[in-house]
Structure 1
Amino acid sequence: MEEAEKGEIHERNTNSSHSGATEEAAGLLIDDLILEILSRLPVRSLHRFKCVSVPWRHLIADPANCKKLPQTLAGFLYFTTDDGGDHHHFASVSGGAAPFDPSFPCLQPNKYKDMAQVDACNGLLLYRGSNKKMAYWNWNWAEDDFRFVVCNPVTGRWVELPPSPQTPENRFSCTAGLAFDPVVSSHFYVLQFEQIFEGSYITSVNIYSSRTGAWTRRDSGMVEKVILCSFSKYVFVCGMMYTVGSLNDKHEYVLLAVDMEGKVWKTIRVPNGPGIGAIGLSQGCLHYSVDSMVRIDDNNESLVSEITLWCLKDHDSEEFVLKHTANTNKLMSMTGKKYRVVEIHPHCDTIFLVSCGGDTLVEYDMQHQKVGCILNLEKDSIQKFLPYVPLFQKSLAEVDEQ
């Protein structure tokens, strides 16, 4: 009898052991399947799923899974300048430390004496490396011996581009943009626009393709003459590069759009406002936000600071759709400061405003009209901000200088 009981107990323990092992294996399999599904979702949905359960939250937050899952906005690159030159900074939206050194020290001082932030796109950064110190207001790059450098700060990998072509007729080169979409390809483009002189209209564009490793030059194909705005922001979406400019002698702001071959050029009127608005890629569409002062009574005695957020949903129709309107008087009364829009969140209807003094960056939810994080900035900051979203991709267009 005792032997029978012992056998039964042993059998139960064995079955329990096998059952536990099976459940553990099934749990691992389920985690792999969940990760595979989550990796295909938009980042906004991904972060909502953190609320499903504690195991899901741990699964999504696990650093080992970051390479598989889409990433959200980490913060903004910006810089300050003094007699010692430019100083690079990072404003983290989570309040934590910068995920990398924004001055990219692996290239200084061994390779370049000066590194200037130019653009950012989907995890890659574009710098202008120079062999001499250049004042930030001197945008005539043709006077400088420089090279463009594209890098991924997560991996530390970088690529130095060959010199861009220059012609005697278009010697003033003032601005450039980076085009990269990891969903489509590991290859990137750099577009460098040229003018005859500062403040004149765009005459041509030099386009670098990492696929060919070479530059091509294209003359402007536009009838309308467009002057690019200072510190122009670039947005790459649906194979087109967009930036803001003004029509010559009309004081009318437009989007200038160019394809990656320099064959398609077009202009799109932006919503009216007293000044230049901010553009950004958000939720897969190009967005435009502008702030203005609006009178609210018949006696024209009261003014409201108003911000509007627009979306270019259909690129073929070239029409903006109004998404949100917000009153920022409450924000200004709370802080005693005035603000202007500088950036748009890539994954939700949230904008970022910088104070006119340039010492704070404020997150504002347009959908719920709520103030989010308020970031303190370095004094005397130059008010050009580059959004950064980490990219856990090992290769850099199949080319690596290291």
Structure 2
Amino acid sequence: MANPAAASLTDDLIVEILSRLPVKSLCRCKCVSPHWRGLISHPDHRHRLPQTLAGFFLNASNRGRQARRFINLSEASRPPLIRYPFSFMPGYDDVTIVDSCNGLLLCRASRTESSSPDAVFCHVVCNPATRSWHVLPNSSSGCVDNNNELRPARLGFDPAVSPNFHVFEFVHSEQGYGCVAGVEIYSSETGAWSYSESEWEEETHLLEGSPSVFFDGLLHFITIDFTVVAVNVKGESWWEKAVPEDSYDLQNWDFYEAWEPCFIGRYKGNLCYINEFYSDTDVSIWVLEDYAADEWILKHRVSIQRLTKNIATPAESKCYNFITVHPHCNWFLYVTGSDKILMAYDMDRDAVHVIQNLGLDCILQCIPYVPFYGN
């Protein structure tokens, strides 16, 4: 028999109660009744309810053609949550997503002007959930370095701490491509760029195609020298730490055969490092719980065979690509196999799940996205 007190609750009151729940509890509430599921899924209530990983922005090639689209993580049969490329940002010839952070996207937009045959680049920070965007003024270089190469750029945003965002644009040194001389940082609070000289080792070489992670006011990056580096939003604090010694084997490592030396992300609120080598037989997840303690802790280990069994052929079994660690489940997501199968591994249950077949030739970029409906 239904509880008469619960039955008397209005929809607004139910949504107000649900808005105070953590994401995992909110997801469980979808199973209470079709009515509750409808309330939680209704577009009018999204801005009031906590959000989780919705999907991925994908840049890829398919049969020789560029494929850009949004991939739903769940309910794959439904239309994409976000239409990509974005129709709400007119006036640009091309918009490429560079980074994502807590619901905001950093994009590199270009247009060709009549006065010059060369494309003009700028950075744009946008929120697809609210269809809003902010065009950044040019940094000192206008997105490119002295060799006319695009500078690596990343986004930092934490709405729980501040409504302001920061964009980090790394300046190459004369030591060679990828080595860092300093960083220009844009603050949405001041509306201006500021430059800080690097305090990392002189030959610190960022792995520019790899993901970065922003939290606790620090942007974390990985290098080709098996270190993790970080810089804060004011460019005043520079941090560098070696990765776990047991996570790589330099004698058997071949840079040209590995997809990426490693992957970094967040695992249960902490910085995590995941090895990612063709030559390895296991995937290990390490966590840095205390920066001051200076110690990586091994949290989980799983064989590559377990991750790719029945999906990839023996020749493909070591061809996998990490996408992200789920922010609210003890899962990590990855792509494997010739058809680029999107997979999830549940670390609590040692279970492998097939999410969907992407059916692509090559994945160039896969950026996770958690909607943010705030202002």
Same fold by TM-score, threshold 0.5 exceeded?
A: yes
Whichever of the two has the greater Rg, that structure is 1
Give per-residue Cα distances to partners, 1:299-340, cap 9 Å, x unaligned: xxxxx8311122222233343222111123144330224223
Do the aligned partners of 1:278 and 1:344 also contact (CA within 8 Å) in 2?
Answer: no
| Aligned-partner residue type, residue 267 of structure 1 | E
- Report the equivalent of 1:80: 60
Per the TM alignment, residue 349 of structure 1 is displaced from its structure 2 partner at its CA by: 2.1
Alignment of 1:70-219 (within 5 A): 70-81=50-61, 86-94=66-74, 95=76, 96-108=78-90, 111-132=91-112, 145-166=120-141, 172-196=149-173, 199-219=177-197
| CA 23–324 in structure 1, closer or farther in 2 if over 3 Å, else same | closer
* RMSD across aligned positions (CA): 3.1
2:48 — aligned with what? 68
- Paired amino acid for 2:88: C
In structure 2, the CA distance between the partners of 1:40 and 1:366, relative to structure 1 (3 Å rule), is: same
Give the secondary-structure state (helix, strand or coil) at the position aligned to 2:223.
Answer: strand
| Alpha-carbon distance, 1:36 to partner | 4.3
**1 or 2, which has the higher helix percentage?**
1
Deviation at 1:208, TM superposition (A): 0.5
Q: What CA distance in whole angstroms lies between the structure 2 residues aligned with 1:184 and 1:149? A: 22
Q: Unpaired segments of 5 or more residues in structure 2?
A: 254-259
- The one-character-per-residue Cα deviations of 1:272-294 (angstroms, maximum 9, x if unpaired) are 22552222234322222224578
2:330 pairs with 1:349: yes
Instruction: Work out whether residues 126 and 148 of structure 1, in 8 Å CA contact, stay in contact via their aligned partners in 2.
Output: yes
CA distance in 2, matches of 1:214, 1:231: 26
Matched residue SS, 1:226: coil
CA, structure 1 residues 283+48, in 2 after alignment: closer, same or farther (shift >3 Å)?
farther
What is the one-letter code of the residue matched to 2:263? A
Q: Distance in 2 between matches of 1:82 and 1:334?
A: 23
Which residue of the other structure, out of 357, 366, 375, is the alignment partner of 1:385? 366
- Structure 1 359/84 Cα, relative in aligned 2: closer, same or farther at 3 Å? closer
* Cα 1:51/1:124, change in 2 over 3 Å: same
Confirm or deny that 1:315 pairs with 2:291. yes
Identity %: 36
Point out where structure 1 has 5 or more consecutive residues left out of the alignment: 1-21, 134-142, 247-251, 295-303, 396-402
Q: Give how far 1:35 is off.
A: 4.3
Matched, 1:256 2:232: no
C-alpha contact (below 8 Å) 1:91/1:375 kept by paired residues: no
Residue of structure 2 in register with 1:288 after alignment: 273
Which has the larger displacement, 212-221 or 267-276?
267-276
- 1:25–1:376 distance in 2 versus 1, CA, 3 Å: closer
Deviation at 1:132, TM superposition (A): 4.9
Offset, 1:390: 1.1
Output one character per residue of 1:247-278: Cα deviation in whole Å (capped at 9) or x when no partner. Answer: xxxxx311110000001111122232255222
Aligned residue pairs, count:
346
Give the letter for the 1:183 counterpart: A
Give the 3 Å change call, closer, same or farther, for CA 114–55 of structure 1 in structure 2: closer
Aligned partner of 1:376 in structure 2 is 357
Q: Is the 8 A contact 2:95 2:107 kept in 1?
A: yes
Q: Cα offset for 1:79?
A: 0.7
Output one character per residue of 1:332-356: Cα deviation in whole Å (capped at 9) or x when no partner: 3302242232321112221122226
Q: Output the CA distance in 2 between the equivalents of 1:50 and 1:82.
A: 36
Cα–Cα, structure 1 residues 318 and 147, in superposed 2: closer, same or farther, change >3 Å? farther
Residues 324 and 334, structure 2, Cα contact 8 Å, conserved in 1 = yes
Distance 2:65 2:7 in 1: 57
Q: Aligned partners of 1:24 and 1:169: how far apart in 2?
A: 62
CA deviation after TM superposition for structure 1 residue 231, in Å: 0.9
